[in-house]
Amino acid sequence: MRIGVVTFPGSLDDVDAARAVRLAGGEVVPLWHADAELPAVDAVVLPGGFSYGDYLRAGAIAARQPLMRAVVDRAHAGMPVLGICNGFQVLCEAGLLPGALTRNSHLHFRNRDQALQVERADTAWTSSYAPGQTIVVPVKNGEGRYVGSDADLDRLEGEGRVVVRYAGGNPNGSSRDIAGVTSADGRVVGLMPHPEHAVEELTGPSVDGLGFFTSVLQGALSA
């Protein structure tokens, strides 16, 4: 299975996302933001980092790059897309996911090992987990506070679109401890924590993050 990993100017965790895809058994296709055509890939990962230096708003400029038009079109057609951290911000800015990510409530960048509860284990990116499972992956962001109007948040929760929630402490003041959400069809997932940093015993706090990448591979096999 071919999984594209997009590099924008200022992407930082593209190497890490590619490593996670490889460790899960996928084939990595590096994608360049300025290309208008999306090559033959089965899924796309938008990695973490500071695309365009977070200028204007985090993710705002990246969301308007040529490649993103193709990604949005393919996502509407059902291609799985995972946005991690800055990638989540890009997905919100591109309109593929609802809500917005704003400055952390305490105004500091924060990097810590974070417990998450998996609420949806039936999306394209979380089917390897059990519903309600607690996992530990790093969180690291300065603008990771997920916000939305109460009505929108009620609707999201009603539709079961909260994929992962912070457990044992909220690192950035996100509304209702929301760490990640999904599209209505469960194919597009965005989250602030970094599953790609928890794929090896040696370098991560756990290997709990690998499940995001094995999920999409298994999904493709069973499809």
Q: Annotated active-site positions, please?
A: 85, 194, 196
* Listed ranges 48-56, 64-72, 116-124, 215-223: which one lies at the site for other proteins (CB under 8 A): 48-56
Instruction: Please report how close the Cβ of residue 119 comes to other proteins at its closest, in angstroms.
Output: 19
**Residue selected from 202, 221, 222, 223 as contacting other proteins according to rule CB under 8 A:** 202
197 part of the interface to other proteins, by CB under 8 A: yes
143 part of the interface to other proteins, by CB under 8 A: no
208 part of the interface to other proteins, by CB under 8 A: no
* Listed ranges 119-127, 136-144, 159-167, 184-192: which one lies at the site for other proteins (CB under 8 A): 136-144
155, two tokens: 């609707």
108 part of the interface to other proteins, by CB under 8 A: yes
Instruction: Please report how close the Cβ of residue 92 comes to other proteins at its closest, in angstroms.
Output: 8
d(CA 112, CA 22): 25
Strand ranges (E), the chain: 2-7, 27-32, 43-46, 81-84, 100-102, 110-118, 134-141, 145-147, 162-167, 178-182, 188-191
Instruction: Please report how close the Cβ of residue 193 comes to other proteins at its closest, in angstroms.
Output: 11
Contact indicator for 169, 98 with CB cutoff of 8 Å: no
Contact indicator for 207, 195 with CB cutoff of 8 Å: no
User: What is the β-pairing status of strands 134-141 and 110-118?
Assistant: antiparallel
52 part of the interface to other proteins, by CB under 8 A: yes
